[in-house]
Chain A
Amino acid sequence: MHLYDLTIAQASGLLARREISSEELVRALLARVEAVDPLVQSYVTVCGDEALDAAKHADQQLAKGGAGPLCGVPVAIKDVFCTQGVRTTCSSKILETHVPVYDATVVAKLKEAGAILLGKTNMDEFAMGASTENSGFFPTKNPWDLTRVPGGSSGGSAAAMAAGLCLSAIGTDTGGSIRQPASHCGVTGIKPTYGRVSRYGIVAFASSLDQAGPICRDAEDCALVLSAISGHDPLDSTSIPAPAPDYTKNLGQGVKGLRLGIPKEVFDAPGLSPEVRKAVDGAIALFQDLGAHTVEVSLPRTDLAVAVYYIIAPAEASSNLARYDGVKYGFRAPNSESLKEMYHTTRSRGFGPEVRRRILIGTYALSAGYYDAYYKKASQVRTLLVQDFQTAFQSCDAIISPVAPTPAFRIGERVHDPLAMYLADIFTIPANLAGLPALAMPCGFSAEGLPMGVQLMARHLDEETLFRAACAFQKATEHHLRRPPLANERKTA
């Protein structure tokens, strides 16, 4: 097995026993990035020298003994997290040269745990998109088929994970941006409960929906990483004031007696491909074999979630992105005669087409005379969606569904049809609107060899149930062990 194929659990065992050094591991990953990333294009910035320095430091910690499970482990960070001294672009021209002066809390916690920052991954500009084609720099490719998208917006993170270019990748998820790319790339990802992970230092898109989480080879690794990055943070006023549990404690408990809710409306959704449906049905059958009870639940307003989202998210985005005006940081259009001209020119040259579209929709929805019809209405329907979940969770412990309606689509296929792109998030958006934790993991492969994912959602702060169920599933299946042909055929590292 190559070093780049290791799980964190495996790597940290080897590191702790000093069978490998962090420096060896980082060098192996950097060599792999050099060989493979020109094809996949998952990284915006690779921090080679910094990573090797940090690895040497981690090796000293490991030599002393008592280091935690992430010590010396190379991770990739979506380029939406502020990293002190390392360029943070959000894959936008407007932040192309921006170097933050502080670390996001997630980054600070990872560094504290001894993890090595390998680089910053590509994304849809400001996390707006479902394919990573909206990056202001270049599109990332799906490692399973380089003519297809990796999903988005954390497409760089998911592709890097799938292609063996890191041992864990951190993403953010506002409407599915961790889960959908994880599904398209055949890896495991979790969006935690809203408020579980600090948003401090994450460039804001839609503040009532944004949440950070890990993408890893399997659920056990996700539990390891989430344990390190979650917890209360006084720097984020929406951070839940509860201690961070050790999510790795109850991973082996199995699913005997777990009540698994099957939302009938979701499985009847138009656009759900028969292949995905069959793969998810297979996952349900396996959970039953493993001892879970299935119960039918109703989420009657599922078909409204995308509409609610595409008012609330752009409304919040139009407000959050008002800060990019060329004054304090980032790009400034030169030679402006007036401040107003500078605002206009800076923003028009700095933002790409999808970001402009969302700012316009959001500005319109919040403008005088339209606020009640759009933003207020959407916020009320959001309440009804939250209530639907509350009712459903009275009779079940977790809800199962597909992650994305189809396997990864082709690059360019949906770029001219924003609405078709938005519908890629139809199964993932509800968890964001309701603030629920939700996990995506591979549950099969299409006839064309593309990974397909299953989603599990749970009650607020019940990530443990998701990890327990996912670990039981992955113990009984091998989908998560498959590697893209790219990873197997090339002789690297």
Chain B
Amino acid sequence: MKLDPSEVLRVAVLARLDVDPDEAHALSRQLSDILDYVAKLEAVDTNGVPPTANAVQIPGPRRPDTVRPSLPPATAVAGAPESEGNDILVPRILA
């Protein structure tokens, strides 16, 4: 499976990563190597085999829907790169 540089650039946009054209060529080679390697799975007959998302199955846990203590707002935003009061600041979203 070949992942050409233009496809690398398309995927990079989906992943919100900047990739410059030189890097796209190097990544194209490395990612194609990886995809070639994993292509061996194509030969495995998986008809009717259910997928495994998690190898240790436990029932979905439940808890009462009650308010419990949580982080105070000032603590919750303490790690934000930019904040004002209890709000996190980000660049303008709407034009």
Binds B, one of A67-75, A148-156, A181-189, A355-363: A355-363
Stretch in A124-132, A287-295, A327-335 touching the partner: A327-335
Residue of chain B at shortest CB distance from A211? B56
Kindly state whether residue A310 has any CB partner on chain B within 8 Å: yes
Please judge, given known A-B contacts A237-B61, A304-B41, whether A195 and B75 are in contact too, CB under 8 Å: no
Chain B residues numbered 61-95 whose CB sits less than 8 Å from any CB in chain A? 61, 63, 71, 75-82, 88, 90-93
Check A238–B54 contact: CB distance below 8 A: yes
Q: Is the CB of B38 within 8 A of A348?
A: no
Contact between chains at B16 and A382 (CB < 8 Å): no
Task: Give complex CA distance A339, B82 in Å.
Answer: 13
The answer to whether A102 touches B51, judged by C-beta atoms less than 8 angstroms apart, is no
Given known A-B contacts A310-B34, A378-B41, A383-B50, A344 and B27 have beta carbons under 8 A apart: no
CB-defined interface of B45-66 with A at 8 Å, one 1/0 digit per residue? 0100111111110101101000
> How far does the Cβ of A407 sit from chain B's closest Cβ, in whole Å?
24
Q: Are A327 and B34 in contact (CB under 8 A)?
A: no
Given A307-B40, A363-B15, decide whether A357 and B30 contact each other with a Cβ distance below 8 A: yes
Given known pairs A361-B31, A378-B41, the reply for A234 and B56 (CB within 8 Å) is no
Task: Say yes or no for A338: interface residue by CB 8 A criterion.
Answer: yes
Flag whether B4 is at the interface (Cβ < 8 A): no
Partner pick for B90 among A303, A304, A342, A378, CB 8 A cutoff:
A342
- Across the interface, name the chain A residue whose C-beta is closest to B55: A435
**Within the assembled complex, what's the spacing in Å between the Cα atoms of A308 and B39?**
10
Cβ A377 vs Cβ B90 within 8 A: no
Residue of B nearest to A385 (CB): B52
Contact partners of A238 in chain B: CB under 8 A = 54, 56, 58
B25 to chain A, nearest CB (A): 14
Which A residues from 101 to 147 make CB contacts under 8 A with B? 101-102
Number of interface residues of A (CB under 8 A): 73
Main secondary structure of the interface of A (DSSP, over half): helix
A341 CA to B13 CA, complexed, in Å: 11
Contact flags B31-45 to A (C-beta < 8 A → 1, else 0): 101110110111010
- From residue B92, how far is it (CB to closest CB) to chain A in Å? 7
Q: A234-B63, A330-B79, A336-B91 are in contact. Are A381 and B44 (CB under 8 A)?
A: yes
A311 at the B interface (CB under 8 A): yes
Q: Which residue of the partner chain, among B11, B33, B44, B50, contacts A304 with CB atoms under 8 Å? A: B44
Q: How far is the CA of A380 from the CA of B49 in the complex (A)?
A: 6
In Å, the complex CA distance between A330 and B31 comes to 28
| Contact A193–B56 (Cβ < 8 Å) | yes
B59 to A, closest residue via Cβ: A241
**Contacts A304-B44, A356-B17, A360-B17; is A101 near B76 (CB within 8 Å)?**
yes
In whole Å, how far is B83's beta carbon from the nearest beta carbon of chain A? 10
B contact residues around A374 at 8 Å (CB): 38
Q: How many residues from B make CB contacts under 8 Å with A?
A: 50
**A240 at interface (Cβ–Cβ under 8 A)?**
yes
A244 vs chain B, min Cβ distance (A)? 15
Bound together, the chains give a CA A139 to CA B78 distance in angstroms of 30
Q: Given A208-B55, A344-B17, A345-B18, A327–B44 Cβ distance below 8 Å?
A: no
Q: How far is the CB of A493 from chain B (nearest CB, A)?
A: 36
How far, in Å, is A208 (CB) from chain B's closest CB?
5
- Nearest Cβ in chain B — how far from A304, in angstroms? 6
CB distance B58 to A337 under 8 Å?
Answer: no
User: Is the Cβ of B51 less than 8 Å from the Cβ of A347?
Assistant: no
Q: With A328-B80, A360-B17, A363-B11 as known contacts, state yes or no: A379 contacts B51, CB within 8 Å.
A: yes
A347, B16: Cβ atoms under 8 Å? yes
A379–B53 touching, CB < 8 Å: yes
Across the interface, which residues of A come within 8 angstroms of B27, CB to CB? 356-357, 360
Q: Which residues from chain A sit less than 8 Å from chain B, CB to CB? A: 98-102, 193-195, 208, 234, 237-238, 240-241, 301, 303-304, 306-308, 310-311, 318, 322, 325-332, 336-345, 347-348, 351, 356-357, 359-361, 363-364, 367, 373-374, 376-384, 386, 418-419, 422, 433-436, 460
Instruction: Tell me the B residues contacting A by CB distance below 8 Å.
Output: 3, 7-8, 11-12, 14-19, 27, 30-31, 33-35, 37-38, 40-42, 44, 46, 49-56, 58, 60-61, 63, 71, 75-82, 88, 90-93
20 contacts between A and B (CB under 8 A): A195-B58, A240-B56, A304-B40, A308-B41, A332-B82, A336-B91, A339-B93, A341-B91, A342-B90, A343-B16, A344-B18, A356-B17, A364-B11, A378-B41, A382-B51, A383-B49, A384-B46, A422-B34, A434-B55, A435-B56
Q: Besides the contacts A383-B51, A433-B55, what 15 more A-B pairs have beta carbons closer than 8 Å?
A: A194-B54, A195-B56, A331-B81, A336-B91, A341-B91, A343-B16, A347-B16, A357-B31, A360-B17, A361-B34, A363-B11, A380-B52, A418-B30, A422-B34, A435-B56
The 10 A-B pairs with the shortest beta carbon distances in the complex, nearest first, are A435-B55, A379-B51, A329-B79, A332-B81, A380-B46, A348-B18, A363-B15, A307-B38, A435-B56, A382-B52
